[in-house]
Amino acid sequence: MAGAEDFLSTPLQFLKGVGPRRAADLRRAGLVTVEDLLYRFPFRYEDRAHFASIASLSLGQEARSIVGEIVDANVRWTRRKGFKVFEALVRDSSGCVRACWPNQVYLGDKLKRGRHVVLYGKLEFRRPGGLQLSNPDYELLGEDDEADEVGRLHTGRIVPVYEKIGSVWPKFQRSLVHRALERLPADLDDPLPAELLAKLDLPARGEAFEQVHFPPESASLDLLQTFRTPAQKRLIFEEFFLFQIGLLLRKRDADAERKPFVPVTNQRIRESAKRVLPFKPTKAQREALGQIVADMKKPHAMNRLLQGDVGSGKTIVALLAAIVAMENILLFAFMAPTEILAEQHFLNIQRLFAASHFRVELLTGTTAGTARRELLRDLAAGRVHLVVGTHALVQQGVEFRRLGLVVIDEQHRFGVIQRATLRAKGLHPDVLVMTATPIPRTLALTVHGDLDVSVIRELPPGRQPITTTARPESRRDETCEFLRKEIEAGRQAYVIYPLIEESAKIDLKAATEMADHLAHDVFPSFRVALLHGRMKQDAKDRVMRAFAHGKIDIIVSTTVVEVGIDVPNATVMIVEHAERFGLSQLHQLRGRVGRGRHASYCILLHQSPLSEDARGRLQAMVETTDGFVIAERDLQIRGPGDFVGTRQSGMPTLRVGDLARDHTLMEDARREAEALLARGPAERLVALVRGTWATRFGLADVG
């Protein structure tokens, strides 16, 4: 056994053909050992057992592999100044084809007359040159190959194609992997238990390595290209499984820590909650609350994620939980991602608890001077029941007495770090993380895999559906007419402009000009106001308050209204340059309307032509208002890294798995990991995961 593992940890530079230069290039790409090499999947496969004949190539086909002899090669000057094309004429028994590589004159050193070459590409019609394989991938055969490997490795079979790493060409990597596989010990250790493999019908590790890199003749090219062969699934599953075991262990460790205060519930507390409740909670809200309160009564701290679409009513659930804490003489802290939101929550919460004996306070970065000193003193002395704030709440110098429950709103912007900070301060309160951007289940299992999850998948009753349309800017006039009708009917509207850091000045100017234009030229009789992030806090508040009281008809704004604002009479959301917004941002913006009894509209004005991604985003918006569906689409379009943001958000570094592509495998891995840990001690596996988890998944810096 030890021998086998030793082989996997052999540095790649000890393999034949890997000199210092290649070793360095490989290292930069994260490939240091044989194990790293074997866990690097080919990015595609070519069927070189069945080459296409040159005569069979035709326009409009997918890329094909052909093989032939170079019968002519030269550099051609074009009419464009300094622009040269390298072209080769390649012949097989059926005919000839021209292959062209623009601006790659140096290929003349390699693609010489008489050499045999594999080309992979599409036949196209291009000027200059006419019908050609344009910029195909190429691989030379013969000469530098070891004679015995030629037939076996590079042609006559389904071959793996790797991404080039510096000086390490795909073909060299293929030989390298082959050499490594030849020396792979038969008794290779397998981190996955044999019963599990049998149950899931997956091959053992050594076999999987073989088949991923050198698929048997019978393998399906379609399955290979989509990473769905048993061998590929097996290695992806292994990665996910080890990851989930680690998450579950972390959760188990957290559960083993007793929290200092365990609240109770009783009739008096239930009455207290009822008095505060302004409406009848939905079934989904009651269920979520039930799960939260059950957690609070457990001896270890709660770590729960509450997911619910915009407007699904998460806040009241959090506040009912807060009552349980406060009635147990425990402090409740509510953390919002921005000052504006913290202030809004503070005002709402203050109103809600106005008739109660609970003392509600606000602590943000702008709380200063005596007010701040006094508040800090009262927090430390336990004289406050509920504190709303920003990340300022977990900053240095803030001490709490009997901190019982912390709610972190909008997990996407922060959460993981805040939880770690609380722990670092020696605090172990119950923590509820809330997000209005639904996270696809797979990602929730990954990024929040050590959290329990509650979901509110139901909106409060009486909500009107929102009609969403995407329109090119040429339909602006029609859009303005529609807006006019709505305002004349007594409704209100948002017009949103993108504002990004890099072009903030220009963006702000555009929003300002549009506000002027709408106010003076288009709707002189309507009340139009501008709202943007550079305005002073009290100016912003004035605008928002006036809008909420119906004293403003149209708010022209940069994205500061993205979350939180709640004005039921607003029924129109117009987004300018919708193509510049991310999908979840658009969804958040749309959530500002459709909150009252009137039908609502979201109009996405965009420039044309649209990029493919932008088109996908707008289409998703038009097709569905379900935040969970939107989230899945967003994940497909953006990929998981972008979706959750920084590494600190808890995204693991993955070698073979892809969260967007392999989500069902992650779910399987979760289920099997839970089952395995529930069954028994699994000491060897647990030791393996404990020893390597953080570094393996690049999560060392997140507690």
Smallest gap, in angstroms, from Cβ of residue 293 to ligand ADP?
Answer: 17
Tell me the C-alpha distance between 17 and 658, whole Å: 31
Smallest gap, in angstroms, from Cβ of residue 410 to ligand ADP?
Answer: 9
Query: Which residues touch 150 (CB under 8 Å, ≥6 apart)?
Result: 141, 142
Tell me the C-alpha distance between 433 and 678, whole Å: 26
Q: In the chain, how long is the greatest CA-to-CA distance?
A: 92
Tell me the C-alpha distance between 703 and 701, whole Å: 6
Closer to ligand ADP by Cβ: residue 394 or 456: 456
Quickly tell me which residue has 């020893």 as its tokens.
691
Q: Taking CB under 6 A as the criterion, which residues in 481-540 touch ligand ADP?
A: none
Q: Taking CB under 6 A as the criterion, which residues in 222-241 touch ligand ADP?
A: none
Closer to ligand ADP by Cβ: residue 250 or 590: 590
DSSP H or E stretch at residue 313: none
- Are 587 and 579 in contact by the 8 Å Cβ rule? The answer is no
Tell me the C-alpha distance between 703 and 463, whole Å: 41
Return the range that interacts with ligand ADP (CB under 6 A); candidates 8-16, 303-311, 357-365, 609-617: 303-311
Closer to ligand ADP by Cβ: residue 156 or 311: 311
Asked if 596 touches ligand ADP (CB under 6 A), the answer is no
Closer to ligand ADP by Cβ: residue 351 or 679: 351
Tokens representing residue 291 in the block: 């799960």
HSE (CB half, 13 Å, CA atoms) of 596?
A: 16
The torsion angle over the Cα atoms of residues 561, 563, 564 and 565, rounded to 10 degrees, is: 30
Smallest gap, in angstroms, from Cβ of residue 29 to ligand ADP?
Answer: 43
Among 102, 313, 449, 627, binds ligand ADP (CB under 6 A): 313
Asked if 460 touches ligand ADP (CB under 6 A), the answer is yes
Closer to ligand ADP by Cβ: residue 97 or 436: 436
Among 230, 311, 616, 703, binds ligand ADP (CB under 6 A): 311
Query: Which residues touch 473 (CB under 8 Å, ≥6 apart)?
Result: 605, 606, 607, 608
Closer to ligand ADP by Cβ: residue 128 or 460: 460
Tell me the C-alpha distance between 437 and 660, whole Å: 17
Among 291, 312, 338, 584, binds ligand ADP (CB under 6 A): 312
Q: What pairs with residue 432 in β-bridges?
A: 304, 407
Among 124, 189, 210, 566, binds ligand ADP (CB under 6 A): 566
Return the range that interacts with ligand ADP (CB under 6 A); candidates 186-194, 246-254, 309-317, 372-380: 309-317
Asked if 435 touches ligand ADP (CB under 6 A), the answer is no
Q: What is the 3-state secondary structure (H, E, C) of 574-588?
A: EECCHHHCCHHHHHH
How many residues bind ligand ADP, per CB under 6 A? 16
- Are 335 and 419 in contact by the 8 Å Cβ rule? The answer is no
Smallest gap, in angstroms, from Cβ of residue 306 to ligand ADP?
Answer: 9
Q: Buried (b) or exposed (e) across 36-66, using 16+ Cβ within 10 A?
A: bbbbbbbebbbbbeebbebeebeeeeeebbb
Asked if 315 touches ligand ADP (CB under 6 A), the answer is yes
> What's the first-to-final CA gap in the chain, in angstroms?
33
Smallest gap, in angstroms, from Cβ of residue 564 to ligand ADP?
Answer: 7
Asked if 627 touches ligand ADP (CB under 6 A), the answer is no
Among 202, 427, 432, 436, binds ligand ADP (CB under 6 A): 436
Among 234, 250, 314, 385, binds ligand ADP (CB under 6 A): 314
Closer to ligand ADP by Cβ: residue 460 or 641: 460
Q: Residue 489 has what DSSP assignment? A: T
In 498-588, the DSSP E strands lie at 528-531, 554-557, 570-575
Interaction mask 271-290, ligand ADP, x per CB under 6 A: --------xxxx--x-----
Q: What are phi and psi of 205, to 5 degrees?
A: -60, -50
Query: What is the full DSSP assignment across 669-700?
Result: HHHHHHHHHHH---HHHHHHHHHHHHHHTT-T
Smallest gap, in angstroms, from Cβ of residue 311 to ligand ADP?
Answer: 4
Asked if 316 touches ligand ADP (CB under 6 A), the answer is yes
Smallest gap, in angstroms, from Cβ of residue 380 to ligand ADP?
Answer: 30
Asked if 437 touches ligand ADP (CB under 6 A), the answer is no
Smallest gap, in angstroms, from Cβ of residue 310 to ligand ADP?
Answer: 5
Q: Residue 168 has what DSSP assignment? A: B
Asked if 645 touches ligand ADP (CB under 6 A), the answer is no
In the chain, DSSP finds a helix count (H) and a strand count (E) of 25, 22
Smallest gap, in angstroms, from Cβ of residue 179 to ligand ADP?
Answer: 57
Asked if 308 touches ligand ADP (CB under 6 A), the answer is yes
Return the range that interacts with ligand ADP (CB under 6 A); candidates 51-59, 313-321, 491-499, 693-701: 313-321
Residue with nearest beta carbon to ligand ADP: 313
Smallest gap, in angstroms, from Cβ of residue 676 to ligand ADP?
Answer: 36
Q: Taking CB under 6 A as the criterion, which residues in 35-54 touch ligand ADP?
A: none
> Which residues make up the interface to ligand ADP (CB under 6 A)?
279-282, 285, 308, 310-316, 436, 460, 566
